[in-house]
Structure 1
């Protein structure tokens, strides 16, 4: 075997060794990456469970919003512009706050799907399930700020000053549905508080995903109704 042949053979051997080494390093890196991702998801889930229980346990009552909407729907003195406008402004503020609180809770109610990677969904919210996305979309559509704003705008531009019957009816319907939503949230809040107080950590860990799923399932019909009220009224207001 001449020198040139030996050089070629040694070169091939070195190339094979380097290639094998690169494959091993790449596989090790991929395994480490997947392990780190699983650990990150697990840590996210643990922190998210704590956040979820805290948010739902401290969820603010929606009764003030329901009361304000009911008061708007009961306005009879159309000439008291200052009082009426204060009610309308309060309703807009409370509706926006309620939607923000609900959206935050939906975002924390992560449920397991086949693809568990965190991903941006509605309005850059970080969620892990299609179910959350669907309910979040309903929450945005059901934000009553739009309906109260349109009621306020129609009242402000009317001559003489009057809140028309379509607006009064929409506010009444919205008040009823917000009250129903509040009752649902009170039940969910009591369940969450009970979980936070129990001493069986393993049982709590099992029950939290069930509570998240139940919350999303319970929110959906209420938010769907509020979205319908919004769409129906705002369509009428645009005429």
Structure 2
């Protein structure tokens, strides 16, 4: 083989090795940067979750308002009923948003789970988290209240029927039970972050929230006639 061909072949081999080395170096840098961003995202998510749980509002005020409507007298002042219904709608929207946000930040990073874009432009890391978010979305307490509000506005004379009263009582009972569950996690919110146990707390909270949300969803489906 002519010397100049050997020379060019050697140069080509050197270029290939240099390119491979540069690629590996850049790939390692990218991996380090990605892992750093992933860790920061996890830390941010964990911190937000602990804060949200620690400062979670109680569901008792909403439950009390629902019971007030349910136990109202047949001849109650319609203006007072409307005031209670409007108050309940605001309380329900606040509660629904709070619960959805807590679930959104309940990311678990086991097995190097990677956040993925999910429903309502949220980021989820597991199918369980996504399923819980959808369940909470379906169980939103404001849904029946807007239907009740519309029905009451249309009724003449202004009345709250027996089915509506029973639904409101059932919702209030479940909300009080849910409040106990949330409160139990609020008490541990400060410790969960600093004891490096937040992943297990997140998973356990989702597990305990699920039956509450399923019951809330069923109460509403029974009220609206859905199956």
TM-score above 0.5: yes
* Offset, 1:146: 0.6
Q: How does 1:107-186 map to 2 (within 5 A)?
A: 107-186=104-183
**Does the CA contact (< 8 Å) of 2:170 and 2:219 recur in 1?**
yes
Contact 2:139–2:220 under 8 Å retained in 1: yes
Is 1:72–1:87's contact at 8 Å kept on the other side of the alignment?
Answer: yes
How far apart in 2 are the matches of 1:45 and 1:15? 44
- Give the superposition deviation at 1:185: 0.7
Map 1:78-89; keep pairs closer than 5 Å. Answer: 78=75, 80-89=77-86
Change (3 A) 1:221 1:21: same
* Alpha-carbon distance, 1:29 to partner: 1.7
Deviation per CA, 1:170-210, whole angstroms, max 9, x where unpaired?
111100000100011111111214446xxxx5xx01x2212
Q: Which of 73, 87, 96 pairs up with 1:76?
A: 73
Distance 1:195 1:26 in 2: 41
1:112 CA drift (Å) = 2.5
TM-fit CA distance, 1:115 = 4.7
Matched, 1:25 2:52: no
The CA deviation string for residues 122-167 of structure 1, in whole angstroms up to 9 with x for no partner, is: 2111232222111111111110111011011111112222222221
Q: Contact 1:62/1:178 (CA < 8 Å) preserved in 2?
A: yes
Deviates more, 1:158-167 or 1:208-217: 158-167
1:92 is aligned to 89
Contact persistence 1:141–1:230 (CA under 8 A): no
The residue that corresponds to 1:216 in the other structure is 206
Aligned to 1:58: 55
Which range moved further: 82-91 or 161-170?
A: 161-170
Distance 1:10 1:90 in 2: 85
What is the rounded CA distance, in whole Å, between the counterparts of 1:135 and 1:78 in structure 2?
Answer: 41
Query: TM-score, normalized by length of structure 2?
Result: 0.91
User: Residue 19 and residue 78 in structure 1: after superposition, are their counterparts in 2 closer, same or farther (change >3 A)?
Assistant: farther
Q: Equivalent residue for 2:218?
A: 228
Secondary structure, aligned partner of 2:156: coil
| Structure 2 spans left out of the alignment, 5+ residues | none
Q: CA deviation at 1:79?
A: 5.5
- 1:6 Cα deviation (Å)? 4.1
**Contact 2:115–2:125 (CA<8 Å) still a contact in 1?**
yes
Equivalences for residues 9-20 of structure 1 within 5 A = 9-20=6-17
Question: Is the alpha carbon distance of 1:73 and 1:79 closer, same or farther for their aligned partners in structure 2, counting shifts above 3 Å?
Answer: closer
5+ long unaligned stretches in structure 1: none
